[in-house]
Amino acid sequence: MILKFSKVFYSALAASFLFVGCGATSLISTPVENIDTVPLKITDLSDAQKKNWGHLDLLADTIPGMSVDKAYKEIIKNRKGKKIIVAVLDSGMDLKHEDLDNVLWTNTKEIKGNGKDDDGNGYIDDIHGYNFLGTSYNEQLEYTRILSLNLGDTSLQTKAKSELDKKHQENLQNKQRYEEILQAVKNADIAVQKELGKETYTKKDLTSIETEDQAMQKNISILMQMFTFADSIPEVFEELNSGISHFAESLNYNLNVDFNGRKEVGDNPYDFSDIGYGNGNPQSIGKDESHGTHVAGIIGAERNNGKGANGVANNVAIMSIRAVPNGDEYDKDIALGIRYAVDNGAKIINCSFGKSFSPNAQWVYDAIKYAASKDVLIVHAAGNDGADLDDPNNPNFPNDQINNGAEISDNVITVGALDSKYGSEVLASYSNYGKINVDVFAPGTDIYSTVPNNKYKAMPGTSMASPAVAGVAALIWSQYPNLNASQIKKIILQSGLSLKTPIILGGDTSKISSLDKISTSGKIVNAYNALLLAEKISKGK
């Protein structure tokens, strides 16, 4: 499933509401011994910092970014390097976006719109990538499909039914809860508007109301809570309505055993030999399909063009592969998508999706190994359940090992997410973790990037942390093209900043650990340090 994360707002709001009611060798890498003495930032991020915090420097800004701006200023400067093709295996992209249109990969061997496979790669009219979903968008979750299709594995069926029953009840309760909250906020808003004599008001306006009326005091209390989640009440209404839609969609499509989103595609998704489906246009469809566009912008939105956001990498070509619906992706689409990216020149594939059941995982494992054989790096989001992936009860597919065993290849980086607040809360409360299954952490919460129709938005999730790392990988590879995928992975893991400070896991203050115990590297990604290490390794030092 696309790792969207508006549910960060949903769960926090509901809980609170119920509670109350390459450069010169003279450059020096960031000294690790200084990290744990960095003072905590006590002021809120400025608007400029909010839009760019993932690129800032921990020591200089007391914000746990990746030192991207520092890397450009002190190492990259005006150097372009070699163009790197990065595949975004995701939902569709807005190929016309003002901040992405000049960084798209273009298949120059294909003639647009002639209905022929001009380059003989097996895909017709694939100018900027490929669309394995056709016109479909909404989909079931994999455990819903397992029940609806009855794949024959009794144990799998039992696990799938247990998960479906649990999630269906959770979503139904959440939808009802949000509807109740929305009505309470509407009632409070109407009462306060009447009390203040104006339609719009601020948090300060609320605190100015002096009343002994208990009903009005309750209304003020409700609205004061809302201001902790958004800057205005209209924004709260937008989030609440979005939440209700989110849970309704889950019930209508993701968790509905009678829904068949694949019928529009026309293939058998459980037959790997049934190929040739889809089309050559990976453009996003519908108003809600924004995930792939946001991910692409984090990697490579045009830098310093006076528009919107800056991508991490300055010399990339983004290949769009539409394979992840509003629901769980099919193993066949992911396996074929990886192979398409590899065969058409991608050096890095970003995978900001994941699911807990994978009946044909071997197809994906084989594709990952194929990518490794062609020296292609895969960067994958760890997932947004706030869970320990080393626990066998919390699988997150695709992965690069089976049953916590040895890695099947050395070309996959799995990325957890950071918040912008350095200290014990630096690990995003929603981020999955695991000493075996998560390699490294990167900025993921409220990352500002591109969304369809030339717009921009801040979105949270490990989905945002993964492309940040894919961008760093592209930046390194662009400057040092003699390196291989395995070396790029090792550089990113080894050059990060080690945080020894105790951190909270899953937002639960009773669960305290440290990064070295919940990830392979124990580090947060740092582009500046990575380029310095890449320089040394590139020269054989």
- Show the tokens assigned to 32: 């690790």
DSSP 410-462: S-EEEEEEE-SS-STT-B-TT--B-TTT--EEEE-TTEEEEETTTEEEEE-SH
Is 1 domain-assigned? no
Where a domain ends, among 219, 254, 289? Answer: 254
CB 519 within 8 Å of CB 489:
no
* Rounded Cα–Cα distance for residues 352 and 339 (Å): 17
DSSP 129: E
CB 524 within 8 Å of CB 440:
yes
Same domain? 105 vs 209 = no
Predicted local distance difference test score (pLDDT) of residue 151: 67
Distances (CA, A) of 142 to 22, 257, 354, 463: 44, 10, 11, 19
Same domain? 249 vs 359 = no
Is 260 domain-assigned? no
Is 453 domain-assigned? yes
Is 259 domain-assigned? no
CB 2 within 8 Å of CB 326:
yes
Same domain? 117 vs 60 = yes
Same domain? 381 vs 279 = yes
DSSP 458-480: EE-SHHHHHHHHHHHHHHHHHH-
Is 499 domain-assigned? yes
Domain extent, residue 168, equals 159-254
Predicted local distance difference test score (pLDDT) of residue 3: 46
Is 14 domain-assigned? yes
Same domain? 210 vs 307 = no
* Number of domains the chain is built from: 2
Helical packing angle, 154-196 and 7-20, nearest 10°:
60
Q: What is the pLDDT along the chain (541 residues), one digit of tens a residue?
A: 654 444 445 545 554 554 333 333 345 555 544 556 677 776 889 999 999 999 999 999 999 999 999 999 999 999 989 999 999 999 999 999 999 999 999 999 999 999 999 999 999 999 999 999 999 999 999 999 999 887 667 888 999 999 999 999 999 999 999 999 999 999 999 999 999 999 999 999 999 999 999 999 999 999 999 998 888 999 999 999 999 999 999 999 999 999 999 999 999 999 999 999 999 999 999 888 999 999 999 999 999 999 999 999 999 999 999 999 999 999 999 999 999 999 999 999 999 999 999 999 999 999 999 999 999 999 999 999 999 999 999 999 999 999 999 999 999 999 999 999 999 999 999 999 999 999 999 999 999 999 999 999 999 999 999 999 999 999 999 999 999 999 999 999 999 999 888 999 999 999 999 999 999 999 999 999 999 999 999 998 6
CB 378 within 8 Å of CB 469:
no
pLDDT in tens, 80-129: 899 999 999 999 999 999 999 999 999 999 999 999 999 999 999 999 99
Predicted local distance difference test score (pLDDT) of residue 37: 66
pLDDT in tens, 291-313: 999 999 999 999 999 999 999 99
* Rounded Cα–Cα distance for residues 209 and 293 (Å): 44
Same domain? 184 vs 114 = no
Same domain? 514 vs 385 = yes
Predicted local distance difference test score (pLDDT) of residue 150: 74
Same domain? 445 vs 481 = yes
User: If DSSP codes are grouped into helix, strand and coil, which group holds residue 185?
Assistant: helix
479 forms bridges with which residues in the sheet? Answer: none
Burial class (CB in 10 A: 0-12, 13-18, 19+), 358: buried
Is 68 domain-assigned? yes
Residue with tokens 């609806």: 148
Q: Which amino acid is at 55?
A: H
Same domain? 293 vs 407 = yes
* Rounded Cα–Cα distance for residues 447 and 66 (Å): 13
Same domain? 92 vs 237 = no
Predicted local distance difference test score (pLDDT) of residue 540: 86
- Show the tokens assigned to 267: 């293939």
Q: Residue 121: which CATH number?
A: 3.40.50.200
Q: What is the mean pLDDT of the chain?
A: 92
Is 134 domain-assigned? yes
Residue 497's closest CA among 45, 64, 62? Answer: 64
User: If DSSP codes are grouped into helix, strand and coil, which group holds residue 132?
Assistant: coil
Predicted local distance difference test score (pLDDT) of residue 41: 75
Where a domain ends, among 225, 254, 283? Answer: 254
Predicted local distance difference test score (pLDDT) of residue 111: 96
Same domain? 439 vs 512 = yes
CB 54 within 8 Å of CB 468:
yes
User: If DSSP codes are grouped into helix, strand and coil, which group holds residue 30?
Assistant: coil
Where a domain ends, among 254, 278, 297? Answer: 254
Predicted local distance difference test score (pLDDT) of residue 13: 55
Same domain? 318 vs 227 = no
Burial class (CB in 10 A: 0-12, 13-18, 19+), 50: middle
